[in-house]
Amino acid sequence: MLTKRIIPCLDVRNGRVVKGTKFTDIRDVEDPVVLAAFYAQAGADELVFYDITASNEQRDIFLDIVKKTADTIDIPFTIGGGIRSLDDFDRLMKAGADKVSINSAAVNDPQLIKEAALRYGSQCVVLSMDIKKNEKSRWDVYVKGGRENTGLDAVEWAKRGVALGAGEIVLNSIDTDGVKDGYALEITREISESVRVPVIASGGAGTMEHFYEVLTDGKADAALSASVFHFGEIEIRELKEYLKKKGVEVRL
């Protein structure tokens, strides 16, 4: 059995980690480098940073935070938000990021996935998908921080992204984001069964059981969360011990 990963997500705005509900009601949390160091010590397997307004504001990402984080922690971390070109990939990789996550730019220019995978390897290219259920009970892909519906079907886009070279998918349900009622299990399972790369579930964790459900019933390879970790509701090592006792292979 492959080891399942637990990944805290750090949404960054104006140099601070923040957290909202369904992409609104944003609250301040902590300095990103300080929080990254805390999670590295607390047993996180990886970290994901998202510059949550970079794409919408059409500006560059926070290279200074990337460099400081790379100097501070010894676990892999992914950077997303505001990446629009191979030059952006290059700057982030040179600054110390292990992986780069693209969402809006991938939709606007799918060939960017292929070009980045050819240059840096698929393992460095993460396709981030913000998704929301539509009136037909299917899931649409959103961009620009959940502000714009692309009309793309989530499953089909996931398949295409992997075919182009994405080595991992972060699947974030806007409907469940920050709500703490559990992950979107059905779509997570469907996409996990549809692609040959790891799928990271995001959006909805409120209890340890929610992590167990998405890593088993949802067939996710990793579970990403923010609120429950940021506000001390779940401690990562206790979560991993719980999962281990339930038969989920994790790194303690």
Q: What is the DSSP string of the chain?
A: -PPBEEEEEEEEETTEEEEEETTEEEEEEE-HHHHHHHHHHHT-S-EEEEETTHHHHT----HHHHHHHHHH--S-EEEESS--SHHHHHHHHHHT-SEEEESHHHHH-THHHHHHHHHH-GGGEEEEEEEEE-TTS-EEEEETTTTEEEEEEHHHHHHHHHHHT--EEEEEETTTTTT-S---HHHHHHHHHH-SS-EEEES---SHHHHHHHHHTT--SEEEESHHHHTTSS-HHHHHHHHHHTT--B--
Q: Which of 45, 51, 130, 140 is catalytic?
A: 130
Query: Which amino acid makes up residue 209?
Result: E
Contact 117, 167 (CB under 8 A): yes
Is-catalytic flag, 45? Answer: no
Q: Which of 11, 88, 140, 221 is catalytic?
A: 11
Is-catalytic flag, 11? Answer: yes
Question: Residue for token digits 């959940």?
Answer: 146
Contact 79, 43 (CB under 8 A): no
Q: Which residues are catalytic?
A: 11, 130
